[in-house]
Amino acid sequence: MTTTPAERTRAGTQSIERVVELLRTVASRGRNGMRLGDVASATGLPTSTCFRMLQRLELEGLLERHAVTRKYHLGPLLHELGMLAYPRVQLAAHCEPALAELAHDTQDTVYLSERRGLEAVCTARALGDYPIKALTLDVGIRRPLGVGAGGLAILCQLPAEEAQDIIEANAWRYAKQSSLDAAQVMAAVAQGRAQGYAFLDSPVFTGTAAVGVALPGAPPMAALSVAAISARLDERRRAEVGAALQRQARKLGRLLQALQEGSR
């Protein structure tokens, strides 16, 4: 049976999409890695198909498989390519002082999350001095917008229709990566818009909560968040943390605007 050029193009595009989905899935576990069965379950691919693709990605250096645990991890080629990638704005570097100040003031863990399509990726982290730390993210971890407080804060600042489209597109991923569903994310967005900051309690790890505020911008592309054990973020304190995040977000917004104007 012969195929048309359009059909071959579509098949090639679908193959690329599958590869990207596999890499993102493995990346979602950070340095913990994922076994074959977990990857197949998360992506919905047949195990045999998933294994063949993972094996090929390993041969190309895009993935590595641990000899003992048999878990897949991101491979060295991705690191080598990443060193040549030049972001448009070195946002994490500009935000370091703000993250450090928030970590000092709150004594909790502070994250910078940047939007990447339907996801938010953690690009920086600062640790406070409180002895019990909420280490819910590593730098480089990706999550669907809405699962973490940073991604939720970005959704809160988007137009309602766009936010709803993103939530609907991510609905199947919420169930796989968190205790949330699309309706709960929509409710959290509505609450975040009303109170001026996003808040989530135990969406991924039981007993941890976080407050998030998006950086100014249209559309919003990044957010700051503070994570702590749930007991440290009661209603009174989460409002205090939200106010501190808002102050730093405004300061960063002015800084980034000045940098942008200076580069013209």
Confidence band for 193, pLDDT divided at 50, 70 and 90? very high
Q: 163, 172, 155: which is closest to 225 by C-alpha?
A: 155
Question: Mean pLDDT throughout 227-244?
Answer: 97
- Class of residue 203 by CB neighbours under 10 A (exposed 0-12, middle 13-18, buried 19+): buried
pLDDT confidence tier of residue 264, bands split at 50, 70 and 90? low
- Per-residue pLDDT band for 86 (boundaries 50, 70, 90) equals low
Q: Please give the average per-residue pLDDT across 168-179, as a whole number.
A: 92
User: 15 or 171: which carries more pLDDT confidence?
Assistant: 171
Helix, strand, coil share of the chain (percent; to 5): 55, 15, 30
Residue 242 CA from chain centroid, whole number: 20
Cβ proximity of 261 and 145 under 8 Å: no
Residues listed for the chain: 264
Which pLDDT does position 114 carry in this prediction? Answer: 94
Q: What is the pLDDT of residue 7?
A: 57
CA distances (Å), 157 to each of 105, 131, 252, in order?
A: 25, 33, 16
Flag whether pLDDT at 200 surpasses 90: yes
pLDDT of residue 235 exceeding 80: yes
For range 189-209, the mean pLDDT:
96
Which tokens hold the place of 170?
């991510």
